[in-house]
């Protein structure tokens, strides 16, 4: 029995010793994935439309000159009963979109050309066409919220009609109005009978990518952007543009996507976008249901990002473990069902370097969303924001001058290079519960600041009666969007209203660009601080001596960061008692200084420098290990400790051997 007990003690000692040795030496073992250097490559994406220097002639002939459409992106599709084949070619330059369309059909009825030009063609049964562009990204041919842009080709010998589809059942295609009085679309149709008495039809169309439309229902496309379109071919009907009749005719080809190739270069530190993962958690309300926010899904997926939608109405838990694999979390709505554990998980995710984009709804002071926001030094009000100017009411146009000059709003952008002029907004506002600027957030250095700060007289309509009275909250400083950047890399943008991206507002160019610019920053695709050099001159000093350091940094494309701030981080067994002097040069590029470690408990310190500019995030240099010469009273070093452990282990083994020998049961001879 005693022998077994001693053997057990030896076995247990060996396990404990192994764990001790692993804790000392195992932590230094790291493995590097040789395939971590990803390059962004969209050249294999289907339906890319390249910007060309030459343009086709819009004469209804696809072969007016050699190679006229040879660089076009070709879409093969079908329409109508019998699934008739139709081919669409798409080209573009920086200002115009070109489409070449051809098909063969046994039916073709031209309009009665004997009718005077000033009469209505619509009542004549004939063949006509329309091309619809999905402005609000919902893949519906018009909606009551936002009309979709359209070109109507009513078989006039020349030209096309600029139009929009408003989503109503009758007269859903409406002729548009242009500021100049000149339609921004032009088309030409040609038709002839082949030897089999089939009609060979060819259509060529040109349309401005950015028009001066007075109503604001035209597309506004640029490099690196995309949009869905579909073709309507009606072979035998009056052109009253009745949506019900269109459905009966089965005239739609189905949605096709145009992806414009970017004009700018990607940065070397951009990860492959297809490896990025986003979770969108929707708490549904009038302003934050999926239909209203389908554009979020559309944008991210079409840029190649992996998107997962979660709905509050469905039992879906948010855990830190699930978030740890995510590049961006988007929270939409009041989030009234968030649990305490989910709130803590989201806060920990941001504190650990994660990114969150919040599109809020009005919520009570103690509501779940405000419980989350309180951890970040802010809250949203419980009702809508109004202007005391009744002409403004609750729908607010925010001029770009009201937006802070942040790098992701002004610098080169991976998703879009377009600028933002005016944002449409309806919703509540943000109240800060912590001091703005630099401070401690989530137990670390951070920077809390307003992104959109409105000027003017506004109030929160607390009693929801649409009129200003004593129960309402007067706002002297009206914040509708705020940002937080944390030292460990966490990034947070809070918008007080999900309406910023609803189906009616996202069709407006500026709201779309604003969203894309902020999303790319949250996913850390650019706006990095580039360290030109980082030098720690003394890596072996006597405790109490100063360590000289130099660091130089630039922004994207070697831009100078004028308001760059720096922190020196000395990591040594949690000791932060250090005398630091760091001075920035007038060139706003170089920092020089000294660091004097104090209260050191080991024979080394790890030194790094964190630099920060609002809108760039915190970026840290590499760690440099500085050794301190031995002084009296210093704790035993790890190397000495390891030696002692080894000697002790040998002693334990010897002791175990003696114990086994001493208590070994004597062998008894076998008597025959």
Q: Single out the residue of 385, 361, 364 nearest to residue 472, CA to CA.
A: 385
List all residues 6 or more positions away from 668 whose beta carbon is below 8 Å from its beta carbon: none
Q: Residue 28: pLDDT above 50?
A: no
What mean pLDDT comes out for the span 188-200?
91
Comparing 226 with 599, the larger pLDDT belongs to 226
Q: How many CB atoms lie within 10 A of CB 453?
A: 17
Q: Per residue in 224-251, pLDDT tens?
A: 788 899 998 888 776 665 555 565 566 7
Check pLDDT > 90 for residue 448.
yes
Task: List, for residues 375-425, the tens digit of each pLDDT value.
Answer: 999 999 999 888 887 766 667 888 877 787 788 887 766 777 778 888 888
Strand 84-92 vs strand 73-79: parallel, antiparallel, or unpaired? antiparallel
How many angstroms separate the CA atoms of 543 and 637, rounded? 15
Quote the Cα angle for 179-183-187, to 5°.
Answer: 165
263 φψ region: left (φ > 0), alpha (ψ -120 to 50), beta (else): alpha
Instruction: Give CA angle at 44 (41, 47), nearest 5°.
Output: 120
Better-scored residue on pLDDT, 574 or 83? 83
Chain position carrying tokens 């297809």 = 274
Q: Distance (Å, rounded) from C-alpha 179 to C-alpha 214?
A: 5
**507 vs 114: CA distance, rounded Å:** 41
The pLDDT score that the predictor gives to residue 605 is 82
What average pLDDT does the segment 37-51 reach?
46
Q: What is the pLDDT of residue 270?
A: 47
Quote the pLDDT of residue 268. Answer: 36
Question: Tokens in use for 453?
Answer: 């700060």
Note the pTM of the prediction, 2 decimals: 0.74
* Residue-level pLDDT at 70: 84
pLDDT category at 610 given cuts 50, 70, 90 is: confident
Q: What is the mean pLDDT of residues 134-144?
A: 75
Mean pLDDT of 540-569: 84
Question: Please, which residues have CB within 8 angstroms of residue 453's CB and are 6 or more apart in sequence?
Answer: 402, 404, 477, 478, 479
Q: Whose structure tokens read 């809020």? A: 360
What is the rounded average pLDDT of the residues 577-596? 82
What average pLDDT does range 62-82 have in this prediction?
A: 87
Structural domains of the chain ordered from first start = 48-260 (2.60.40.1190), 273-522 (3.40.50), 529-629 (2.60.40.10)
Start-to-end C-alpha separation, the chain: 28
Tokens of 101: 């369309």
Q: How many CB atoms lie within 10 A of CB 666?
A: 4
Distance CA 7, CA 663 (A): 11
Residue positions counted in the chain: 672
pLDDT band with cut points at 50, 70 and 90 for residue 18: very low
pLDDT score of 351: 94
612 contact partners, CB below 8 Å, separation of at least 6: 447, 485, 487, 529, 564, 565, 566, 567, 618, 619
In which residue are the tokens 């929270």 written?
331
Q: Report which secondary-structure segment, H or E, holds 37.
A: none
Q: What is the model's pLDDT at position 320?
A: 92
Q: Residues 559-576: pLDDT tens digits?
A: 888 888 887 777 654 445
Higher-confidence residue: 247 or 284? Answer: 284
- Helix 509-522 and helix 294-302: axis angle, to 10°? 60
165's CB contacts (< 8 A; 6+ apart) are 132, 141, 142, 147, 148, 150, 172, 173, 174, 243
Q: What's the pLDDT at 74?
A: 92
Most confident of 76-80, 86-90, 131-135: 86-90
- % of the chain surpassing 70 pLDDT: 73
Close Cβ partners of 592 (under 8 Å, ≥ 6 residues apart): 548, 549, 550, 582, 583, 585
Q: How far apart are the C-alpha atoms of 373 and 442, rounded to whole Å?
A: 12
Q: In the chain, pLDDT over 90 holds for what percent of residues?
A: 21
Do the beta carbons of residue 112 and residue 124 sit within 8 Å?
Answer: yes
pLDDT score recorded for residue 76: 93
Distances (CA, A) of 270 to 31, 240, 347, 360, 556: 22, 50, 26, 29, 12
Residue range 309-357, pLDDT digits in tens: 888 877 678 999 999 889 999 999 899 889 999 999 999 999 999 999 9
CA-based nearest residue to 80, from 254, 243, 249: 249
Segment 76-84 mean pLDDT:
86
Q: pLDDT at position 31, please?
A: 27
Q: What is the DSSP string of 365-385?
A: TTSHHHHHHGGGTEEE-SS-E
3 state SS of 519: helix
pLDDT at 513 over 90: no
Question: What is the rounded average pLDDT of the residues 129-152?
Answer: 80
What pLDDT score does 169 carry? 56
């Amino acid at each position: 029995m005693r022998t077994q007990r001693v053997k057990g003690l030896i076995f247990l000692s060996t396990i404990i010793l192994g764990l001790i040795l692993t804790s000392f030496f195992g932590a230094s073992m790291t493995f590097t994935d040789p395939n971590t250097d990803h390059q962004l490559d969209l050249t294999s994406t289907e339906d890319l439309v390249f910007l060309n220097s030459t343009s086709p002639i819009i004469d209804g002939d696809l072969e007016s000159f050699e190679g006229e459409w040879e660089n076009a992106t070709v879409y093969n599709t079908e329409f109508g009963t019998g699934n008739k084949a139709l081919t669409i070619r798409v080209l573009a330059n920086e200002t115009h979109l070109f489409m070449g369309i051809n098909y063969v059909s046994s039916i073709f009825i031209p309009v009665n050309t004997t009718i005077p030009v000033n009469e209505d063609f619509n009542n004549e049964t004939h063949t006509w066409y329309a091309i619809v562009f999905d402005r609000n990204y919902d893949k519906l041919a018009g909606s009551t919220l936002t009309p979709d842009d359209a070109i109507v080709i009513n078989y006039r010998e020349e030209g096309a009609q600029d139009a929009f589809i408003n989503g109503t059942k009758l007269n859903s295609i409406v002729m548009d109005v242009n500021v100049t009085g000149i339609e921004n679309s032009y088309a030409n149709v040609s038709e002839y009978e082949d030897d089999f008495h089939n009609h060979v039809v060819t259509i060529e169309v040109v349309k401005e990518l950015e028009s001066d439309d007075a109503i604001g229902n035209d597309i506004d496309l640029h490099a690196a952007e995309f949009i869905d379109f579909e073709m309507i071919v009606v072979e035998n009907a009056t052109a009253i543009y009745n949506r019900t009749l269109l459905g009966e005719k089965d005239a739609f080809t189905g949605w096709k996507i145009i992806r414009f190739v970017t004009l700018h270069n990607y940065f070397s530190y951009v990860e492959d976008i297809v490896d990025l993962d986003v979770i969108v958690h929707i708490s549904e309300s009038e302003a934050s249901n999926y239909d209203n926010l389908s554009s979020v899904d559309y944008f991210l997926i079409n840029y190649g990002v992996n998107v997962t939608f979660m709905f509050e109405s469905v039992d879906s838990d948010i855990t830190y473990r699930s978030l740890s694999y995510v590049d961006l979390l988007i929270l939409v709505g009041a989030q009234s069902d968030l649990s305490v554990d989910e709130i803590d998980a989201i806060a920990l995710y941001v504190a650990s370097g994660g990114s969150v984009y919040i599109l809020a709804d009005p919520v009570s002071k103690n509501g779940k969303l405000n419980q989350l926001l309180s951890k970040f030094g802010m809250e949203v009000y419980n009702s809508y924001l109004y202007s005391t100017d009744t002409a403004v009411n609750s729908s607010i146009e925010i001029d770009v001058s009201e937006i802070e000059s942040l790098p992701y709003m002004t610098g080169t952008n991976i998703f879009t290079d377009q600028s933002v002029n005016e944002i449409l907004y309806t919703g509540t506002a943000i109240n800060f519960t912590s001091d703005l600027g630099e401070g401690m957030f989530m137990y670390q250095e951070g920077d809390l600041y307003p992104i959109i700060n409105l000027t003017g007289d506004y109030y929160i309509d607390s009693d929801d009666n649409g009129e200003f009275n004593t129960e309402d909250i007067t706002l002297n400083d009206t914040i509708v969007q705020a940002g937080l950047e944390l030292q460990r890399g966490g990034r947070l943008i809070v918008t007080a209203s999900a309406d910023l991206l609803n189906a009616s507002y996202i069709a407006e160019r500026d709201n779309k660009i604003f969203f894309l610019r902020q999303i790319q920053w949250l996913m850390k695709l650019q706006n990095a601080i580039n360290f030109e050099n980082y030098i720690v001159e003394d890596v072996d000093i006597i405790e109490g001596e100063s360590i000289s350091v130099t660091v130089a940094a630039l922004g994207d494309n070697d831009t100078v960061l004028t308001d760059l701030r720096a922190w020196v981080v000395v990591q040594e067994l949690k000791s932060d008692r250090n005398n630091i002097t760091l001075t920035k040069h007038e060139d706003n590029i170089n920092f020089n200084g000294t660091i004097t470690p104090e209260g050191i408990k080991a024979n080394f310190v790890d030194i790094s420098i964190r630099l920060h500019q609002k809108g760039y995030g915190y970026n840290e240099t590499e760690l440099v290990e500085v050794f301190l010469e031995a002084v009296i009273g210093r704790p035993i070093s790890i190397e000495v400790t390891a030696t002692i452990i080894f000697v002790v282990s040998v002693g334990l083994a010897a002791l175990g051997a003696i114990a086994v020998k001493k208590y070994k049961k004597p062998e008894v001879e076998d008597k025959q």
